[in-house]
């Protein structure tokens, strides 16, 4: 049996007709930039997240970059985030000439540890820190109550990196409404993905929304008049049309991911693998949306090779922490600086979790892992 890590063809088969019809409408209109589909999607996604504004941009990376710009982050400012996430989070900070400051993660959730954050802020009195960017990794919200409490104490802006967490909830509120701004990615592998790159920023702050709309069009509030040096980052009309087709199905797809995660949990327990495999941890006050189903195992690389021999797809998110990346050597961090993150990087493994995954395929995955052990 072959089990892909992600089967986008299975998803596309179900939406193909409607997606192509919407693409044709955009092509017939010849309106490709900031059209009605972008405006509708911005309103729909903002309402879904529980915020007043949504601002469509060209990618999840640009969403982070623009949010930092709108927050007033400039060269020399410090921005706190996690070392255990995708590169775009810290890369966007560095792109502005700001300084990425890493704090370690919670070993269960893989999200930024509020205790480590508090220790850093207490030690430095928050000097020079302009923003905190917690990442809702794998679809589980960070501990936002604790993070927001610290941000209020030190007067620091909080920007959610919700790239993997559309539809996730924390204390009854959705990701996207838990900070001053939140950044989403519509990369094809996301729970809500387009046919290329795309992103969005949500916020309740009208001033920030106006600034973001200006910054995404070269800092222009009126055509050919520029109030700031922005960038060119607009969500394409074609991508917005595709996303609106998919958005109608998002909750059903999310339910499918949650169902499959529960099935994996039960299968691992039934197989007697509880001591060998650590399944995803979900806090009681959260709804996890499982952009990835990430287990933790010893001999991770050997097991991944074994799964590949069984034609089972898997992936490591992420094999090398950000503070150990070559491009961030100038920050002065060394191996051992963030031991929880570094240990996770050696042990995590993502298994197939997409909604179309069948019970038979999941049993094959778990049986293969049992065979390896």
- Is the domain spanning 8-247 CATH 3.40.640.10? The answer is yes
Give the pLDDT confidence of 306-335 residue by residue, as tens digits: 999 999 999 999 999 999 999 999 999 999
Cβ contacts of 62 within 8 Å, gap of 6 or more: 199, 216, 231, 233
Confidence at residue 313, expressed as pLDDT on a 0 to 100 scale:
98
Query: Domain residue spans in the chain?
Result: 8-247, 250-372
- In angstroms, the CA 259 to CA 247 distance is 19
pTM (2 d.p.): 0.97
> Which CATH architecture group holds 250-372?
Alpha-Beta Complex (3.90)
Cα–Cα distance list, 229 to 66, 69, 95 (Å): 11, 10, 14
Query: Given this model, what pLDDT does residue 330 score?
Result: 98
pLDDT digits (tens, 9 = 90+) for 56-82: 999 999 999 999 999 999 999 999 999
Residue 72 and residue 131: Cα distance in Å, rounded?
9
Question: Which residues lie below 8 Å from residue 122, measured CB to CB, with a gap of 6+?
Answer: none
Rounded (10°) CA dihedral 99, 179, 37, 248: 120
Where residue 213 falls among pLDDT bands split at 50, 70, 90? Answer: very high
């Amino acid at each position: 049996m072959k089990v892909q890590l992600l089967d986008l063809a299975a998803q596309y088969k179900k939406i193909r007709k409607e997606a192509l019809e919407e693409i044709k409408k955009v092509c017939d209109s010849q309106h490709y930039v900031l059209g009605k589909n972008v405006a509708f999607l911005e309103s729909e996604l903002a309402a879904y997240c529980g915020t007043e504004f949504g601002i469509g941009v060209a990618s999840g990376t640009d969403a982070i970059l623009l949010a930092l710009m709108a927050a007033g982050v400039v060269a020399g400012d410090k921005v706190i985030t996690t070392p255990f996430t995708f590169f775009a989070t810290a890369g966007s900070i560095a792109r502005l000439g700001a300084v990425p400051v890493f704090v370690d993660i919670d070993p269960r959730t893989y999200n930024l540890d509020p205790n480590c954050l508090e220790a850093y802020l207490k030690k430095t009195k928050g000097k020079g820190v302009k923003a905190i960017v917690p990442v809702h990794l794998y679809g589980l919200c960070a501990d936002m109550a604790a993070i927001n409490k610290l941000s209020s104490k030190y007067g620091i802006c909080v920007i959610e990196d919700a790239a993997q967490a559309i539809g996730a909830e924390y204390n009854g509120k959705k990701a996207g409404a838990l900070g001053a701004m939140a950044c989403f990615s519509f990369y094809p592998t996301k729970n809500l993905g387009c046919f290329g790159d795309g992103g969005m920023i949500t916020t309740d702050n009208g001033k920030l929304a106006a600034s973001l709309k200006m910054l995404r069009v070269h800092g222009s509030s009126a055509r050919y008049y520029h109030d700031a040096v922005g960038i060119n980052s607009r969500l394409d009309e074609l991508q917005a049309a595709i996303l609106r087709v998919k958005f109608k199905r998002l909750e059903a797809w999310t339910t499918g991911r949650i169902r499959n995660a529960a099935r994996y949990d039960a299968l691992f327990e039934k197989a007697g693998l509880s001591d060998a495999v650590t399944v995803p941890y979900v806090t009681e006050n959260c709804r996890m949306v499982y952009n990835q189903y990430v287990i933790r195992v010893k001999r991770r690389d050997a097991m991944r090779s074994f799964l590949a021999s069984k034609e089972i797809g898997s992936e490591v998110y992420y094999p090398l922490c950000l503070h150990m990346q070559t491009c961030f050597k100038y920050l002065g961090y060394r191996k051992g600086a963030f031991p929880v993150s570094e240990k996770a990087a050696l042990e995590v493994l993502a298994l197939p979790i997409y909604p179309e995954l069948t019970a038979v395929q999941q049993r094959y995955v778990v049986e293969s892992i049992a065979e390896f052990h």
